[in-house]
Amino acid sequence: MCPKWYIVTLSNPYMPLPGGYMTSPRMAPTVVGMGLLELIPESTILAFQAANAASSGQVKGHANYVYNPYTQKTEIGRFGQKANTSSLLVQVATAFQQDMGITSYVQPFKSVHGQSQWGAIGDTSGFDIADSILNAVTFYVRTLAVPARRNVTDAAVQRGELLFTQMQCASCHIPTMYTGVDITFPSMSNQRIHPYTDLLVHDLGAGLADNRPDYLAGGSEWRTTPLWGIGLLEKTNGTPFYLHDGRARTLEEAILWHGGEAQNSRDQFTKLSKSERGAVISFLQSL
């Protein structure tokens, strides 16, 4: 089925955005291991939240509860920079809808970005994309593998991993957890994985704030980015771009942007010797 394209022409294309209109730049996220993240049990995520709440430290991450338009239920968010999507099916369907204007059985309405007069425009002659295509793309994203680590026996990498833990970076970028059971994906069930995330949202301070809340995630809160595969971004992308808006060009710069709940870890990083900072970067590049 060929997609149908719709063009909405405004009477004044240079009309300024309405007052209070919120924007936030975003970099496309890494999509490896998404199916494994989807299989992390909800109880695991809530246990991370409970541990944060019980701690006397700065780290106070919490789950973002979001609306799933397909199940029509409120669920724990896992995907997106602010954990504003709960399932990969919705994530993929929303990308078709928001980025390309393509409707589906999951997202049947046109994306009109705040134009309330067109807020409920649906397809009268069927969805833009066949159910089978949406399901196939979701399957593809769900099953993209995580790249293998490199240089794991290197002394600098091992030293960097120890420092990473000592600086309490692993309080949010949790190294190891287990997936639950999904009989439709037995190869991903009951797996010991190393995503380096807790899937919670954390306040990272004014320096990284976009002042745009998203469900229960505040304007300075962001989901802990999974670090697996981060060491290959420079190779795969040419020039690496880190953080939600790509402002950092190096891993060290990305660390130095951390504030809020991560301020203490960031400050400890600045106090390391040059060789120790290099070891931390070598560890991250091994992921």
Q: What percent of the chain has pLDDT over 70?
A: 89
CB burial of residue 144 (10 Å; 0-12, 13-18, 19+): middle
The answer to whether residues 216 and 235 touch, using CB atoms and an 8 Å cutoff, is: no
Dihedral sign for Cα atoms in the order 85, 138, 177, 262: negative
Query: Over the chain, what is the mean pLDDT?
Result: 91
Structure tokens, 46: 């809530």
Domains, the chain, ordered by start: 34-142 (no CATH), 155-286 (1.10.760.10)
Structure tokens, 43: 């109880």
pLDDT band at 10 (very low <50, low <70, confident <90, very high): very low
> What pLDDT does 245 receive?
95
Length of the chain: 287
Tens of pLDDT, residue by residue over 137-164, are: 999 999 999 999 999 999 999 999 999 9
The mean pLDDT of 265-285, rounded to a whole number, is 98
> What pLDDT does 126 receive?
82
> What pLDDT does 117 receive?
46
> What pLDDT does 13 receive?
52
Report the alpha-carbon distance of residue 44 to residue 78 in Å, rounded: 12
pLDDT > 50? residue 9: no
Tens of pLDDT, residue by residue over 75-123, are: 999 999 999 999 999 999 999 999 898 999 999 988 765 545 445 555 5
> What pLDDT does 97 receive?
93
> What pLDDT does 21 receive?
77
> What pLDDT does 111 receive?
76
The answer to whether residues 69 and 86 touch, using CB atoms and an 8 Å cutoff, is: no
- Which residues make Cβ contacts (< 8 Å) with residue 241, sequence separation at least 6? 27, 233, 247, 248, 249
Report the alpha-carbon distance of residue 190 to residue 179 in Å, rounded: 5
